[in-house]
Amino acid sequence: MVSFLLCLLPALLATTSAQISPPATLTCKTCFGETKECSFVPGTCQDNKATGGCLSVAEVVKLDGTQYTFFYKECLNTYKSDIEVPISFTVGNGQYVRINTTRCSNADNCNSGTLEVPTGSTTKNGLQCPTCFALNFTVCNSSITPCTGDQTYCLDFTGFLKKGPSSSPFQAKGCATESVNDIKSGDSLNSAVYGFVFTEATSKPAEKTPTPQKTTTTTKTTTTTKTTTTTKATPATKTTPATTSGASPALGKFSFALYLPGLTGLLLVKLLS
């Protein structure tokens, strides 16, 4: 019996040792900076290889008139954000959030590469959304704005915007990438400068921009036809002198000449007598 226990003891010790041994770790690059070389305070961090990973973030944010561009690398278990996908949205008046995020866990220091900031395209994509951004309970007066690039969804967010120790309620509407669908009510999104806590978050595919109606101007041409009236002269009608009843035209014209010799003869007879 004793010999059996002595044989079993090494196996029990090995099992106990395996249970209390630390989990396999993953080593990741760490740094922070305003350029993509991310050279400020470089180092490493470690997290559980089974559940963690290495993170790289490149972002550009402009919400209060100032543009912030940051790059950083860290262990995924220290990244306090529910949204871990590249996301980009524009809320009008030159205000936008563009965050590019990658995760890896396939090897130590797998996040050592350079990550690019999402570029803001100015090419219109034929879609449109209401856009506005308001802080501290001010009215978010939206206006229809053309969407650009790969922003093919419309977002409507309300919540709290954190910057350092301060927190302000906000409302935002705008054009966004399809990844905005991952944001749900109660989620948070963190950048190097801001922290978003969404109390309400909805999104839907953007609508097509209406095609302007072409206005066709019809010019009515009025053709005036000049009618020329030609009057044909009618030959004058030859007037026939009126004829005295009972006499021929010749008799009326020469009757005195016919009676003159007779009258002369009668006058001579009377004088001689």
pLDDT, one tens digit per residue, over 3-26 is 544 455 455 555 554 455 667 899
Q: Which pLDDT belongs to residue 61?
A: 95
pLDDT of residue 271: 55
Q: What is the pLDDT of residue 225?
A: 47
| Contact (Cβ atoms closer than 8 angstroms) between residue 132 and residue 171 | yes
Q: What is the pLDDT of residues 253-271, one digit of tens each?
A: 444 444 455 555 555 545 5
Give the pLDDT score at 64: 84
pLDDT digits (tens, 9 = 90+) for 218-230: 555 555 445 444 4
Q: Which residues contact 264 (CB under 8 A, 6 or more apart)?
A: none
The alpha carbon of residue 208 and the mean position of all alpha carbons in its chain are separated, in whole angstroms, by 8
As a dihedral over the C-alpha atoms of residue 142, residue 121, residue 37, residue 86, rounded to 10 degrees, the angle is 60
pTM of the predicted model as reported, rounded to 2 decimal places: 0.67
In whole angstroms, give the CA distance from residue 24 to residue 30.
19
Residue numbers in the chain where pLDDT is lower than 70: 1-22, 215-273
CB 25 within 8 A of CB 54: no
Output the pLDDT for position 261.
Answer: 53
